[in-house]
Structures are given as C-alpha cells and as structure tokens.
Amino acid sequence: LPLSPPDPTNCVTSTVVTPENGTFKIECCPPPPFTDYVIPASNNTQFRIRKAAHLVDDEYIAKYKEAIRRMKALPDDDPRSFKQQAAVHCAYCAGGYKQKGFPDKDIDVHESWLFAPFHRWYLYFFERILGSLIGDPTFALPYWNWDHPNGMRMPSIFTTDTTSPLYDPLRDSRHLAAFMDLNFNFDKEDKPHVNPTIKEINDNLATLHREFLLKTDQTDFFGAPYHAGANPNTSYGSLETVHNTIHMWTGVNPVTNPKSNGENMGILYSAARDPIFYCHHSNVDRIWNIWTTQLPGGPRSNFSDPDYLETSYFFYDENKNYVRVKVKDCLDSTRLGYDYQRADLPWLNAGG
C-alpha cells in the first residue's frame, strides 16, 4: 500500500538533528490551508444593492456581462474561474465532501437548514469575485424577481442574446420567454405561452402566499435540522421547494428529452454552470430576508441552535484566499455589505 498523504491541517514544527550543533526546531509548515474569514470593514462603506433583473439598465447589463465574461476567461485552474465556481456547488451537493469524523456520511447543502446559509455565502464570494474582476467594489448581482408577476419568466438579459456570456444553451427552449408556472415539475404537461391569464398569475401568487407567508415555523420554511453524523437531506423547507420549481422550469426537461438529466439548471451537479443560477439564488436569498424581517406577524427568527450557527463552509474569496465561514456570520446580510432593492410583494394578499 502506498503511504497515505499527510493531514494538511496537522503540520507541526520540524526538528533538525545535526552532529555539530545538536538539535534545533524549525518552522517548515506551509501556510495553513485555510484561514477564518474576517468580514471586511469596507462592507460598511461600499454597499452593494442587488436589483431586479428585469429592471436593470443597459449600463448595468454591460458591466454584468463583462464581469461574467472575465470570470469565464480565467484559466480553469483559477479558483475564481466560472468553471471552478460552478464546481463548488457540485462538490457540496453530489457527495464531494464527507463529514470530518464520519467518513461514510456525505455533506449535502440541500434539503435541510444548510440550504439558505450555504447559498448566501456562495453568492457573497461569487459576487465579490465579479466585482474585483471589473474593479467595481459595489458591483451587485441582480435578482430574478420571480415572486412578482413582472418577473415570472426568465429575465431577458439571460435569454435574448445567444452570444452573451449570460446565455446558456442548456435550458428548456420552450420556456425561454414563457410565463412561469410556479407549480411546474418535469412530469407536468405544460403548454408554454408568453402572456399569462389572470388565473395563472393568481395561482402563482397563491402558491407564494402559502409557501412563504403562511409558513411561520423555521423548519417548515428553511428545512429541517442537520447535525453531525446524520445523513443529509433531512427535509425540504418551502423556500427550497419553490426554488426547485424554478430550477426545473429552466433546465432541459429530462422527461421529454430522455438524453438529458435536466442540465444545466434542472439537476444539482450542473445547476451552477448556468449564469442564471446566481440570479435565481439572489432572489432565494432576498426572500429569506423578507421572511425574517418584513412579513406581517413578524419578525420571524432564524434558527438559534448552536449546531446551526457553528456550521462552516469553505470558499475562495476574491483574492484567492481559501477561507472558512460560519453560518452565524451571514444571518444579517447587511453585515455582508449588500441589500436588495425593494419591490412590491403582491403575494402577501393573495390568499385564496
């Protein structure tokens, strides 16, 4: 058997034994493989405002495209490259990581309380990398405003120009301009069309009302607890369930295209290869903020279990530092230096 590789997290001071000068200690360890992330003080002054994707202006679109273009142009082995960024998502959902101390237990950031905070941190670094690539520390991702009737279709910035870095050919071509059905799934027969009926709009709003406003329990909204040594995928919260629908709506339908598995957006391993992923998750993240702070009958709280708060993930930051972040440090998104442009919430009054 070959020697197993050293544990990079456990390098100690080396000892040198010489015939002339006896024994001495020397520090030979490489820098630690990660550092604990320190939220930059500049987050207080360089604020990023995420705007609705269907409302952004030409100047913003040009900037956004250029940032994604530069990210895609980085060498594949650069951790800031689009390819590596997309792979981060794959590693955290397709058995890429095991739990330290539980070698037969996968880590999956879906279908549990890890869903919201993992994707928040993921977008945070993705956004900062984009900003640094175009030298704009206030650059912010757009959000796909799928909870408003005007945003219930793929934002045109992703679909109309097939030469744009925001375009991805691996999408359901029948859905590119169609009004979205928030009760869609791959098995549901649909007749995509551009102009919705009032009933279709109201059905979507009623779904959002039921899944967001009427869910007042943390587990119902965020997903179930997930502790050390447990199997992943404990249970979906309604935030994730609604989000899954939009993934399926966007990806190639594997039922009608049996050679496909849903790539890109409709299956986890490839979802983040589509630039629209980050815009979609920007809205998921926005709904989290709305749920905790802006709903009638609120405020509704985040989980306070220390096992939740102390959960950590690893990312590369915009300076290629490999950093560890904790859930507890992302619960207030303003500390992370960004917020969302306000939009009407017509689903608040759409019970029925």
Binding-site residues for Cu cation sit at 89, 110, 119, 243, 247, 281
Residue 149 Cβ vs ligand C2O, minimum distance, rounded to whole Å: 22
Among 243, 253, 288, 337, binds ligand C2O (CB under 6 A): 243
DSSP string, 149-214: GGGSS--HHHHS-TTSTT--S-S-GGGSSSPP-TT--TTS-----SSPPHHHHHHHHHHHIIIIIS
Secondary structure element (H or E) that encloses residue 102, with its range: strand 102-106
Q: Say if residue 202 is preceded by a cis peptide, omega within 30 of 0.
A: no
Q: In angstroms, how far is CA 185 from the centroid of its own chain?
A: 21
Residues 207 and 182: their CA atoms lie apart, in Å, by 7
**CB nearer ligand C2O, residue 196 or residue 237:** 237
Residue 119 Cβ vs ligand C2O, minimum distance, rounded to whole Å: 6
Record the tokens describing residue 212, joined without a space: 């967001």
**CB nearer ligand C2O, residue 171 or residue 281:** 281
**CB nearer ligand C2O, residue 184 or residue 350:** 184
Residue 240 Cβ vs ligand C2O, minimum distance, rounded to whole Å: 8
Secondary structure element (H or E) that encloses residue 14, with its range: strand 14-18
**CB nearer ligand C2O, residue 70 or residue 280:** 280
Residues 81 and 133: their CA atoms lie apart, in Å, by 10
Among 116, 271, 323, 325, binds ligand C2O (CB under 6 A): 271
Residues 199 and 50: their CA atoms lie apart, in Å, by 30
Residue 244 Cβ vs ligand C2O, minimum distance, rounded to whole Å: 7
**CB nearer ligand C2O, residue 70 or residue 288:** 288
Interface with ligand C2O: number of residues (CB under 6 A):
8
List beta partners, residue 52. 143
35-36 sheet: strands from edge to edge: 35-36, 322-326, 312-316
Sites for ligand C2O among residues 1-40 (CB under 6 A): none
Record the tokens describing residue 27, joined without a space: 């520090």
Is 120 a binding residue for ligand C2O by CB under 6 A? The answer is no
**CB nearer ligand C2O, residue 48 or residue 110:** 110
Residues 251 and 253: their CA atoms lie apart, in Å, by 6
Residue 324 Cβ vs ligand C2O, minimum distance, rounded to whole Å: 19
Among 48, 50, 70, 89, binds ligand C2O (CB under 6 A): 89
Residues 229 and 222: their CA atoms lie apart, in Å, by 20
Among 120, 171, 215, 247, binds ligand C2O (CB under 6 A): 247
Is 54 a binding residue for ligand C2O by CB under 6 A? The answer is no
Residue 88 Cβ vs ligand C2O, minimum distance, rounded to whole Å: 10
Residues 114 and 97: their CA atoms lie apart, in Å, by 14
Q: Which of 121, 336, 102 is nearest to 226 (CA)?
A: 102
Residues 120 and 281: their CA atoms lie apart, in Å, by 8
Residues 192 and 242: their CA atoms lie apart, in Å, by 19
CA–CA distances in Å: residue 16 to residues 5, 7, 32:
22, 21, 21
Is 110 a binding residue for ligand C2O by CB under 6 A? The answer is yes
**CB nearer ligand C2O, residue 70 or residue 264:** 264
Sites for ligand C2O among residues 197-236 (CB under 6 A): none
**CB nearer ligand C2O, residue 64 or residue 277:** 277
Residue 239 Cβ vs ligand C2O, minimum distance, rounded to whole Å: 11
DSSP letter assigned to residue 143: B
Q: Say if residue 289 is preceded by a cis peptide, omega within 30 of 0.
A: no
Residue 51 Cβ vs ligand C2O, minimum distance, rounded to whole Å: 20
Interface residue list for ligand C2O (CB under 6 A): 89, 93, 110, 119, 243, 247, 271, 281
